Amino acid sequence: MDDDLTTLVVAEAQEHMGRAVDHAQAEFGAIRTGRATPALVEHLKIDYYGTETELRQMAGFSVPEARLLVVSPYDKGSLPAIEKALQGSDLGITPSNDGSVIRLSFPVPTEQRRKELVKVVKQKAEDGRVTVRNARRSARHDLDAMQKDGNLSSDELERVEKDLDKITQDHVGAIDKLLAHKEQELLEI
């Protein structure tokens, strides 16, 4: 019974930590590096016949060159709505429409802008680390409560806390690895 509870607490904490890593990765993907990637626009909401629809449900994407993203709508009638949404987005890029596809050409960011983006990415990584640590803290709180109730021995508590610390270090390490990759990508010319 006690093992089941501790396993459940640790598994729940691990799940929260995993989601924090996934969220940090998604946040990093949304930061523009000067390279074209569908992640920058795929979640953009388009007013499609009165319904808010994500762009990824309405169009396919291709990246023929590092700084060019081509958006190919499944329904050519939605082209003006997609173009309007892209112009109104915070990308700061003017889409070029040739009647069948929309091209987005990404300029090379300045050195100052790249450094600003690195600061933003570092902050998002720190937010992810804090979320992972909060999951650990919550799990430790639950384990301490189990020990006070007599459901967990101090030796078992110590063993489970070591496991929890290892899991936490692994997840923080994953965020750090994602950060290093994104930082390198941002500073690359």
One pLDDT digit (tens) per residue for the chain, 189 residues: 457 888 899 999 999 999 999 999 988 877 766 677 787 788 888 888 888 888 888 899 988 888 888 999 998 888 888 888 888 877 777 888 888 899 988 777 788 878 888 888 999 999 999 999 999 999 999 999 988 988 888 888 899 999 999 999 999 999 999 999 998 888 875
Considering the chain, tell me which residue range(s) the CATH 1.10.132.20 domain(s) occupy. 2-30+110-187
**What backbone phi and psi angles, to 5 degrees, belong to 172?**
-65, -40
38-105 folds as Gyrase A; domain 2 (3.30.1360)
The token pair that represents 37 in the structure block: 């990637």
DSSP code for 100: S
Q: Which CATH superfamily is domain 2-30+110-187 in?
A: Ribosome-recycling factor (1.10.132.20)
Considering the chain, tell me which residue range(s) the CATH 3.30.1360.40 domain(s) occupy. 38-105
The count of other CB atoms within 10 Å of the CB of residue 46 is 21
CA-to-CA distance for 114 and 83, rounded, in angstroms? Answer: 27
